[in-house]
Chain A
Amino acid sequence: MSATRRLQKELGDLKGCGVRAYENVECDETNLLKWTVLLLPDKEPYNKGAFKVGITFPVDYPFKPPKIAFETKIYHPNVDEEGKFCLPIVTTENWKPATKTEQVMMALLSLINEPEPNHPIRADVAEEFQKDHKKFMKTAEEHTRKNAEKRPE
């Protein structure tokens, strides 16, 4: 089965899915394997901005998982400074070929909206999140205002 056919279908499905939080998806004009999704979290402190997420699909997609990372800086216990995060459904061990990009985006959105301080990537941010939540909210909001993209009207 060709990755192209499946990706074209998924791209169309995602654009027409009607979920504002991840329907803004763009595909590299010369490379169907590279997408950018504009993620719009709806919970404080990330609802003040939009976050670009880069998705790179392998040539043997969907039999290997896509690589996903934030291109916009985000202050979050589960995302590191390079934009990388740990999402079980896209790890090599857990990946299933029937997993669709929309499901991956749903899982990522839920991780951003509801941080998991017990499974942190950035231990310092997780500690702040749990011990001084007020300070965390303030820092994250400022960080969002300063670094995030503008939310589309």
Chain B
Amino acid sequence: MLFSGMSNEVTVVLQDRKTGQRRNYTINVNNNENILELTKSVEKITKIPSEELEVVFCGKKLSKSTIMKDLSLTPATQIMLLRPNSVVKTATTSSPKLQTTDTSILGSFYVWCKSCDDVRRGKLRVYCQNCESTSVLVKSEPQNWMDVLKSKRIPVTCENCCRPGLYAEFKFKCLTCNDLAAALTHVRGNWQMAECCICDGKEKIIFDLGCNHISCQSCFKDYLLSTLQEFHFENRPPYGFTVSCVYPECNRVVQDVHHFHVMGQSSYSEYQRKATERLIAIDDEGVTCPNPSCGQSFFWEPYDDDGRSQCPDCFYTFCRKCTERDCVCQSEDDLTRTTIEATTRRCPKCNVATERNGGCAHIHCTSCGMDWCFKCVTEWKEECQWDHWFN
């Protein structure tokens, strides 16, 4: 749990480059104190003059005026204090990359926290990619989400393992419960207190896909649940099955499925299952187990194929064409099969049985997104439009 009281114990790792020593101290700090006061407390214990100490946290040198509570500390947090030897110190201060910065990156974004089962404010923590120590200093500031979400973007120096060519590893944590959490790049604070473009409400936390068409969490959740009902998620590689912005004609999409957690656990699982089924269905070598109590989707081996597959989950063996255990592809008396064959045509791309109950011959496949002609059973062309749009 996060400390909410006035004082807090923190672990301080002191790296003394003058003596080459490394020591840990537990220090009681007041949350309203600043970093200068922390260095004075350390001075009392270690007799190292406070002006010789540099405080490193989350990959950055902190300014002496930073207030402790802005760091969102927990008992498990480690703060590194660095005492450079004079030579290094000169080099450090002359380097423009190592200037002290404010703490604005801490706690100004949102995460999906599994433990809290909700959207929460998040905090960013920086580790050495090699030894997982927090005693790292970033050589350049992350500029955007990609810099913290992708690996090997931000180089660091690590006071613990001291290897060359190291990169930062970023982790996101829930500010409420301190557990690891997933960053939600499309969620932000409503700084301008703008209205949700669905319900006109003004909420503190909003969804914005980068186009400034904002919606509140409750409306965004309803939008997702409604999309899930008949699975209107669109396949937009590389993001997979996703939704576009709530605003008419805006094509921005949700780029990370973690946002779909706001639907609730059971709906999220349903989304995952259906999205997998669709992906398998549009793959030439994918199949869904027809056993009513199973429904597992899997890929079959094209090697030495006899048209039959066994489900890796429930071991049901079936013919992939008629989906029966005892193949009825050759028999004439299967009414269901003959009815389906007689009343439907198969999508030329994903082979899904398609019934036309009215309208024109232009079919938009809801399974794979292909536009095809019900008459020609090939891709929809201009000639179809002119020649037999309405038969």
| Residues in A lying within 8 Å of B, measured CB to CB | 1, 5-6, 9, 60, 62-64, 89, 92-94, 96-99, 103, 118, 123
B194 to chain A, nearest CB (A): 13
User: Which residues of B from 38 to 97 have beta carbons under 8 Å from A?
Assistant: none
Q: Is the CB of B245 within 8 A of A96?
A: yes
Instruction: Assess the B246–A97 pair: CB atoms within 8 A.
Output: yes
Contact B364 A5 (CB under 8 A): no
Point out the residue from B219, B247, B364, B390 that lies within 8 Å of A1, measured CB to CB. B219
- Chain A residue numbers with a CB within 8 Å of B170 are none
Contact across chains for B232 and A1 when beta carbons are under 8 A apart: no
Asked if B248 contacts A98 (CB within 8 A), the reply is yes
Contact A63 B232 (CB under 8 A): no
Give 1 or 0 for each of B213-236: 1 = CB within 8 Å of chain A CB: 101001100110110001010000
Which residues on A sit within 8 Å (CB–CB) of B366?
Answer: 93
B232/A92 in contact, CB under 8 A: yes
Give the contacting residue for B222; candidates A1, A9, A89, A103; CB below 8 A: A1
Q: Please, which residues of chain B bring their CB within 8 A of the CB of A96?
A: 244-250
Q: Is the CB of B226 within 8 A of A98?
A: no
B218 near A93 with CB under 8 A, answer no
B198 within 8 A of A: yes
Is B197 located at the chain interface by the 8 A CB criterion? yes
Chain B residues within an 8 Å CB radius of A103? 248
- What's the nearest-Cβ distance from chain A to residue B124, in Å? 31
The 10 closest A-B pairs by CB, nearest first: A63-B226, A1-B199, A98-B197, A99-B248, A98-B247, A96-B248, A98-B246, A97-B198, A97-B246, A97-B223
Complex Cα spacing A75 to B385, Å: 22
Q: Tell me which of A9, A92, A98 contacts B213 (CB under 8 A).
A: A98
- Count A/B pairs, Cβ under 8 Å: 52
Check if B132 is an interface residue, CB within 8 A of chain A: no
Nearest chain A CB to B147 CB, angstrom units: 31
Query: What B residues does A99 contact at CB under 8 A?
Result: 248
- Nearest Cβ on chain B to A112's Cβ, whole angstroms: 19
A97 touches B232 (CB 8 A): no
Is the CB–CB distance between B223 and A63 below 8 Å?
A: yes
Closest to A122 in B: B390
Known: A5-B199, A96-B246. 16 other contacts (CB 8 A): A1-B198, A1-B219, A6-B199, A63-B222, A63-B223, A64-B226, A92-B230, A93-B232, A93-B364, A94-B248, A96-B247, A96-B250, A98-B198, A98-B213, A98-B248, A118-B385
Residue B200 interfacial (CB < 8 Å): yes
Contacts of A64 in B (CB 8 A): 226
Q: Which residues of chain A are near B389, meaning CB under 8 Å? A: 123
Contact assessment for B390 and A97 in the assembled complex, using a CB-CB cutoff below 8 Å: no
- CA gap between A127 and B385 in the complex, in Å: 14
Q: How far is the CA of A93 from the CA of B247 in the complex (A)?
A: 13
Complex-state Cα separation, A6 to B246, whole angstroms: 15
Q: How far is the CA of A1 from the CA of B213 in the complex (A)?
A: 18
Q: Which residue of A is nearest B234, CB measured? A: A93
When chains A and B are docked, how far (Å) is the Cα of A62 from the Cα of B247? 12
Give the residue among A6, A97, A103 with the most B Cβ atoms within 10 A.
Answer: A97
Q: Which residues 196-211 of B sit at the A interface, judged by CB distance below 8 A?
A: 197-201
- Knowing A96-B247, A103-B248 are in contact, say whether A62-B198 is a contact too (CB < 8 A): yes
Cβ–Cβ < 8 Å partners of B385 in chain A: 118
Query: In the bound complex, how far is the Cα of B66 from the Cα of A48, in angstroms?
Result: 73
Which chain A positions have C-beta within 8 A of B246? Answer: 96-98
Which residues of the other chain, A, contact B219 by a CB distance below 8 angstroms?
1, 97
Report A3 CB to chain B, min CB distance, Å: 10
A153–B257 Cα distance when bound, in Å, is 55
A26 to B6, CA, bound (A): 61
List 9 A–B pairs whose Cβ atoms lie within 8 Å, in order of A's numbering: A1-B199, A5-B199, A6-B200, A63-B222, A93-B364, A96-B245, A97-B219, A98-B215, A99-B248
Nearest A-chain residue to B197, judged by Cβ: A98
Q: Which of B226, B230, B248, B390 contacts A123 (CB 8 A)?
A: B390
A119 to B218, CA, bound (A): 38
- Beyond A63-B226, A93-B232, A98-B197, whether A1 also contacts B218 by CB under 8 A is yes
Contacts of B200 in A (CB 8 A): 6, 9
Which chain B positions have C-beta within 8 A of A89?
A: 248-249
What is the CB-to-nearest-CB distance from B228 to chain A, in angstroms, rounded to a whole number?
A: 11
- B218 — nearest CB in chain A belongs to which residue? A1
Give the CA-CA distance A82 to B259 in the complex, in Å.
42
Shortest Cβ gap from B367 to chain A (Å): 13
CB-CB nearest in chain A for B385: A118
- A-facing mask of B244-284, CB < 8 A → 1, else 0? 11111110000000000000000000000000000000000
